[in-house]
Structure 1
Amino acid sequence: MQAGTRTLSFRMRMFISFGLLAIVCLAPMLVYFHSSMGVIAIQDAEDRARRDMRLLLWLLQQHGPFGVEEDLDAWCKAAGAQLGLRITYMEHGVVLTDSEIGSARLPFLEDHSSRPEVEQALKHGEGLAMRQSATLGKSLVYVARLVEPGLQGERGVLRLAIPLSQVQAQEGRLLQAINWLVPLSLGAMLLLGLWLSRSLAASILKFSCTALAIGNGDYSRRLYTSPGREFLPLQQSVNTMAEQIQATILGLAEQKGQLEALFNGLAEGVLLLDASGTVESWNNAFRQVFKDMPPKAGRHLLEITMEPALQHAVHRIVAGEIAAVTMALPRGDREYEVSITPFRDAHAVRKLVLVFRDVTEAHRLERVRRDFIANASHEMRTPLTTIAGYAETMLEQEPLDQTMARKFLGIIHKAAWRMAGCVDGMLALSRIEAGAWHADMASHSLAALLEEGVEEIRPNAERHAVQVTWHLEDDQMLVYADEEGFRTVLKNLLENAVRYSPAGGVVTVKASRAEDRVRIAVADQGPGVPSEIRGRVFERFFRAADQQGRRSGGAGLGLAICKHMVQSMGGTIRVEGSSRPDGQGATFVLELPSPQNGFEI
């Protein structure tokens, strides 16, 4: 028997146990219902009889007094037929009317005063009894109530009867329903037991499969459910082990990902070589350095870079002739600084790492710095030399007549202002490039701005015998710009145009619409700007040379300031050649947004 039990599956044992438990629970319930259903049905019949008696008394009161016995008999028969009850009325034990007995038989009925329910009604006001009817020959449930005054002025008794067969029929129906309900409940419980046993068996199978998967290396799996308390220590141990292993693997993967992201995110190109000098790995920046020869693992450095000097340096380090080296490597228009450093990996194997650093911009900035210092020194030296020379002359030549002194002081004053203008220009340009100057954009009348700018430059133009004219395509044109910034740009362009125009020349300012922008062109009749230097005229300290090779003009900061201000206002500025037949003159074109371009006015 024990051997047979051990052969049963866990699911089958659970199902059998659940079935036995269901039978043990439902059997006492079925016995209880069978033993108590009769009592419950009779109690329900008595309660119903009492309710019907109250209703009948209410109907009797609503009807009012009866004149003769025939009226009472007719009312009883009608009420009994409607309510499905036997209604009897009697006085002094004499039946005066009965809903189920004809009037002709009433005189022959025996005295009912000895009936139990009648005796109780006469004594206590209400009586209840269940017995065999001597008149009808069937079992009834009787309820009697005392009625005062009666039909003949005396006390009467109103009685109703409910056939016990109705109670028994109701009891039979309830028992039949219970006899069906209990097997159905048992079946449902057995089905539930089957489902529970299958779910428990599935839980054990899942537990086993999860444990097997963890054992096979899937450390993300967990034992979330346990088939029983006996499995809890095993479940916790397996989960803890899997979590620790997974945390270690995730940590290593995260470190690897971080190193790869750092490796590929470096701006410098990095190349890793093995002990023999062949390629092992590289980052994305290295690919950009050698786009035409993509790297491939196992190749020699010379095959990828085509740089013998670089390959020679690697050979020297591999041979142990030098420890490390840093060398320059020009490639096209870019300049790189390459550092070659040996190291040992986790297995103590000697390898090399090459770092390619793009120093093109650094070198360019260094050249700009040197040029700036040289240009600034040159621009400051000229006025300082003038000031020092004339001041020294004034000190050495004594006495100095007033006319000569004023002349010298005027020259010193002019040189000082020139030096101050140079300093102011450098400071202004530095503020703009550092982002300290912010354009206060608004809509302005272009005609008013041009008229103010031309009138401001007109005295200087008259001194140079240069005529300045301006023309608008539409007098109502608006420009979206910073007011002071626009005035500064226009002033610099007009001063340059007047400075380079010959005596008797004309400077023309024209404004027109160009799609969604405003175009202002300042044209002069000077020597023009050669095409080869048009891209440099907006550089700081750049000044074009005249026909004798002399650098003319101011400090060379005005157009640089113009360029940065225009860009801050969302516009562009450029220089174009002349449209005149002789090729003389230059045209500076300034384009700024118009309010109709969706800007707020």
Structure 2
Amino acid sequence: MQREFSLKVKLIVSFWLVLVFSLAVPSNYFIQSVEQKVDSQHLQYVQERMEIVQWIIAQEEEKKPEKLDSILKSLDFLDDARVSVLDAQGMIIADSRQHREEFEGMSSYIDYPEVVQARHETGYHTASDPWEDDRRLYMATRIDLSSEQEDTGYLRLVTPFSGLHPYFQHVSANLWKFVLLSLFLSCIVVYLMVTYLTFRLKPMIKMAQSIGQGNFQQRIQDSPGREFDPLVEAINRMAEDVEKSMELVSSQKSDLETIVNGIKDGLAALDNQGRIISCNQSFKKIFQHLDTINGKKPVEIFFNNSLQAACEEVLGNSMKQTRTMELEIKEKFYDVHVVSPSDQQNIGAIILLHDITDLKNLESIRKDFVANASHELRTPLTSIKGYTETMLQHPDIMQEKGTELLQVVIKNTDNMIRLLDDILQLSRIESTQDQVALDDVDLAAVIFKSWNNCSHYTEGKNIVFESELEQEGQLLVRGEAEYLGQVFQNLFENSIKFVPGEGFIQVLVRQEGNQVWVGVQDNGPGIPAAEQQRIFERFYRVKKDKKKVKGTGLGLAICKNIIKAFGGRIWVESPVPGSDSGCIVWFSLNRS
């Protein structure tokens, strides 16, 4: 580490300080003490003359301005001092030097420092005369201007106060010349001494620099002299201790980084100025669109004033505390905790991001399910109740259309049973995924059987159905026939719901190594790209089709869990290649 000042400079400055304190300070103190003593005696002398003037004025019974002016001008012991008598308003009414016509138009002295002090006691102060190059003493005291002591005024005296000050200045100047000469000579002596010392220490300095650069195995072998033997031993021992400490710190740092980067939650540390100094890999992944993170304030990363305010509140409070809020970042939701560490010396605050997107989605799914299930159950129940009440209240309608009405009741009852069956089936599949017994299944036979089971849903539409597997026994896959049929039936029902009046549904088959990819393609409106990752969630339905097409949002979730139990995966491709609409739901199966 490069120091600001060298050893030479420090020693020279040290010698200078010693000389200054040993020569200049005592001498200057002595000169000031003598000067203060002389000034004190001078002040006492002036005060005595002031008291004499005050006594002379007090002896006069009639203190008219003309009389006072005459008395002041007659005093021959005043030398070069000027004495004035002021009235209560600070105006000159008598003066030892000036005639009355000269001072009658002068301004008041009532606010002058010495006059203000004289209201309580004798007041004085010294100041430089702006017209003459010397110091002046200004002194004032209260006097009675009437025999009844009802009219008061002030006696003001001004006299030169230079005394021995110029002489002391001359002595002080010579003293500083001597000190400067001593400083110059000491500089030369110290320079020669330090140069010699540096030459002797140069080998040891080089060895110490080598150790400081990270070569902790290096040791100092030779000492410049016996005086430096303890220093050499201390440096060698320090290098050994530092080597061990660095190994320990490096190991602990590596372990800590592994732990922090293994945390799924985003983690960032702020310094006491509120800037990010470190963050884990999860935090960097959340903000991977940013070039740099360290050195920025939270508001520059999150663009959220509330979070910045929370960080500043935690940083500004010495007590340990936590601030929590919820933020949306790049279409994901996070619980954000701003925590103050127990020791805020190096780290001022910690920001923790916990991804709650899945919880939000589950909550949304739950709400959708409640709404959908309530609607799907309420509609048939309302219909059943209505038709049943009609038959009970109108026996004639029961006789004429009883069979037709009962068929409607049965149809709505079947719809409710189907909804409940889907819920129970999904629950059963999720709880028994690892217990599904796999066997060889004829893929073509399952396809055609499932389509026949769904054919009654095609009423009112002209739908063309095709399959690339035309013969049974053509391809065997690993699975369970009933569950696999449920997958095809759910996919066919979805396609039938969404295709237009002139519909087209086709089963595609691709053989990829040891797997078979099966796809159900239709010419429906397709699925928006933003929702393709969520259509396999329970109770999720494409937003634009919620009100147009009935359903519970369970079909694709059932398909996903069945295919997962078979050891495959399921995904969607929309729009169909070469078109701007349509959809293909693909899933993979293992070949027999």
TM-score (norm 2): 0.47
TM-score (norm 1): 0.46
Greater Cα radius of gyration, structure 1 or 2? 1
